[in-house]
Chain A
Amino acid sequence: MCTLVFLVVNIFCAVRRSLPHFLWLNNNSMKKIFFLIALLWGIQGFSQVQQVNLTASGLTCSMCSKAIYKALTALSFVKQVQPDIERSSYAITFKENAQPDFDAIANAVTGAGFSVAKLQATINFSGEQVQNDTHLKVNNETFHFLHVSERKLNGATTVTLVDKNFVTAKEFKKYSQYTTMKCYPTGVMESCCTKKDGKAGERIYHVTI
């Protein structure tokens, strides 16, 4: 993908240089085009989240389960939801080129009146190196790996989100002992995080394997 964008930009620049000056695009148009390219790149990156498996808690009936199902299917980036009523779990797949938003998924469940007990995302990795209690930028999303051994991630790997609103209170407490970093309770980039990972206040999803 990177190569592709690099090529497109290069060709664009070459064409621009070869054109007479009056045919050059103004700065604003240029910005828009680069923004579009950046956006497309971003979207392409997010499609690496292949599927999400979610278990909801606090419900007792099929009517409740249907409320969650309907709230999930109403999300713009969701393609299909396969519910297991007995287990209160939902397998969610996403529209092509759509950007899955984990927070929006959790909000859909709480909006229906229940809570997320477990959320697992299957992500297609391409040789990223993972270290315990460190951040990893997977395209546009920052993940903070907790309670993992050092390893290289290749291909479809299932990670479990352990942030507040994605686990039970008990589980949240359990994972709190694996890090002293402030970004875990807040879920956003804090002073503890290295600057190269992103701006302060940016969303970080804490995950384990």
Chain B
Amino acid sequence: MRILFITLLVLGALRSSAQELYVFTEPASNMPAHSLSVKQTAKVLHDASGSAINQRQTTELMFGLTKDWMVHASTTFSNMYSPSFQWESARLYAKYRFLTHDDLYSHFRMAAFAEASYSRNVLHYDELSLEGDHKGVQAGVIATQLLHKLAISSSVSLVENFQEGRDEKSVYSPQSYEGLNYSLSAGYLLFPRNYTNYKQVNVNLYAELLGQKSLDLNRSFLDVAPAVQLIFNSQAKLNAGYRFQVNGNMNRMSNNSWLLSFEWLWLNALKRK
């Protein structure tokens, strides 16, 4: 754990500009005001039995309303809780940046976020996630620090599962309904070494720690999620990541998963002419 953290620090400090367009988490910074972004994400995993391959497709619309406010709306299809591929959830997310300390070679920013998700799925696992697994809400804070060439972001949030029958004793109980999520992320620019124009392909490497601690049961997990990101024409992002558990005792659908996403950004798309 300590070695990992030091590796993250060294990795970030070693080279070039730090990157905060994290693949698994959101930074405290927002997308530009009046911009619109569309993101398609595929999450692939082996189910608990390890035999079948399950997949979730998420389509997400992101709006930069003002410099401080951004909103996401997303919907998902998957075969994770059903024998065939079907629509399963919708989610709304809002983030407000409330603190900005920008300096020439550093910045510190903080943001608060809240989200709510509707899902037709009934969760039988301990791992809480508003990505489509259950109905619920989540709220938290994010802090992002850029110090010269190192950018580190951290978040803490509370998540609650509101699915039907959570108070009834069921064959699956006990399971977790309240949790604390936390994350620590770092990223760095591998290429280009020197920026000359907006058309250069950017290659970014990321390493993120993603953890959850149940608040109603003595269970938790900690994942490590490395990822690579390609940015084309300063407009499109292609992300590929792998997330695996390094420590934990939660009953989860899977301890590891793959993620592939593509995002397209339109600047000034929402600006009134």
> Is B151 a contact partner of A60 (Cβ separation < 8 A)?
yes
Min distance, Cβ A62 to any Cβ of chain B, angstroms: 5
Query: Provided the pairs A60-B146, A111-B33, A111-B67 are in contact, do residues A74 and B102 lie with their beta carbons within 8 angstroms?
Result: no
Shortest Cβ distance from B193 into chain A, in angstroms? 10
Interface of B is mostly: loop
- Binding stretch for chain B, among A8-16, A112-120, A190-198, A199-207: A112-120
The answer to whether A170 and B67 have CB atoms under 8 Å apart is: no
Interface assignment of B18: CB less than 8 Å from any CB of chain A: yes
Known: A57-B103, A61-B17, A168-B102. A70 touches B194 (CB 8 A): no
**Taking the complex as formed, is A48 at the interface, i.e. its CB lies under 8 A from any CB of chain B?**
no
Q: What number of residue pairs across chains A and B have CB atoms under 8 A from each other?
A: 94
Q: Is B200 touching A62 in the complex (CB atoms < 8 A)?
A: yes
Q: A70-B267, A71-B32, A113-B32 are in contact. Are A61 and B102 (CB under 8 A)?
A: no
State A114–B106 Cα separation when bound (angstroms): 12
In the complex formed, the residue of B with least CB distance to A115 is: B102
A63 lies within 8 A of chain B by Cβ: yes
A70 — nearest CB in chain B belongs to which residue? B267
Q: Which residues of A contact B195 (CB under 8 A)?
A: 62, 65, 85-86
The answer to the question of B98 belonging to the interface, with a C-beta cut-off of 8 Å to chain A, is no
Q: Using Cβ atoms and an 8 Å threshold, which residues of chain B touch A115?
A: 100, 102
B30 located at the interface, meaning its Cβ lies under 8 Å from any Cβ of chain A in the complex: yes
Inter-chain CA distance A115–B146, complex, in Å, is 14
Q: Does B19 contact A (CB under 8 A)?
A: yes
Chain A interface bracket (under 10, 10 to 19, 20 to 34, 35 or more): 20 to 34
Could you tell me the distance between the alpha carbons of A134 and B271 in the complex, rounded to whole angstroms?
A: 39
Q: Write the nearest CB–CB distance from A103 to chain B, whole angstroms.
A: 15
Q: Which residues of B contact A55 (CB under 8 A)?
A: 104
Compute how far the CA of A117 lies from the CA of B105 in the bound complex, rounded to whole angstroms.
10
Do B33 and A113 touch across chains, with their CB atoms under 8 A apart? yes
Report the interface size for chain B: residues with CB under 8 A from the other chain.
42
Check if A110 is an interface residue, CB within 8 A of chain B: yes
- Is B49 at the interface (CB under 8 A from chain A)? no
Q: Mark B188-202 against chain A: 1 for CB-CB distance below 8 A, else 0.
A: 010000111110101
Q: Tell whether, in the assembled complex, residue A63 and residue B196 are in contact, meaning their CB atoms are under 8 Å apart.
A: no
Q: Is A155 interfacial (CB 8 A cutoff)?
A: no
Are the C-beta atoms of A112 and B33 separated by less than 8 Å? yes
Cβ contact within 8 Å between A117 and B34:
no
With a CB–CB cut-off of 8 A, which chain B residues contact A60?
17-20, 146, 151
Inter-subunit contact A67/B267 (CB<8 Å): yes
Of residues 100 to 114 in A, which have CB atoms within 8 Å of B's CB atoms? Answer: 110-114
Q: Please, which residues of chain B bring their CB within 8 A of the CB of A61?
A: 17, 19-21, 189, 202, 204, 231
Answer yes or no: A23 CB below 8 A from chain B CBs.
Answer: no
Instruction: With CB as the reference atom, state the residue of chain A lying closest to B35.
Output: A67
B53-67 interface mask toward A, CB cutoff 8 Å, 1 = contact, 0 = none?
A: 000000000001011
A112 touches B32 (CB 8 A): yes
Task: Give A64 Cβ to nearest chain B Cβ, in Å.
Answer: 8
Cα(A83)–Cα(B196), bound, Å: 9
Q: Is the CB of A63 within 8 A of B194?
A: no
9 A-B pairs closest in CB distance: A58-B102, A85-B195, A115-B102, A66-B234, A67-B32, A111-B33, A58-B107, A70-B267, A112-B32
> In the complex, given contacts A67-B35, A112-B67, A113-B64, what are 13 additional A-B residue pairs having Cβ atoms less than 8 angstroms apart?
A57-B105, A58-B107, A60-B19, A60-B146, A61-B189, A66-B235, A67-B267, A69-B198, A70-B32, A86-B195, A86-B196, A169-B101, A169-B103
- What are 19 sample pairs from A and B whose C-beta atoms fall under 8 A apart? A55-B104, A57-B103, A57-B105, A58-B102, A60-B19, A60-B146, A61-B231, A62-B202, A63-B237, A67-B267, A70-B267, A85-B196, A85-B197, A86-B194, A110-B67, A111-B33, A111-B34, A113-B64, A168-B103
Chain B interface (Cβ < 8 Å from any Cβ of A)? 17-21, 29-35, 64, 66-67, 100-105, 107, 109, 146, 151, 189, 194-198, 200, 202, 204, 231, 234-235, 237, 265, 267-268, 271
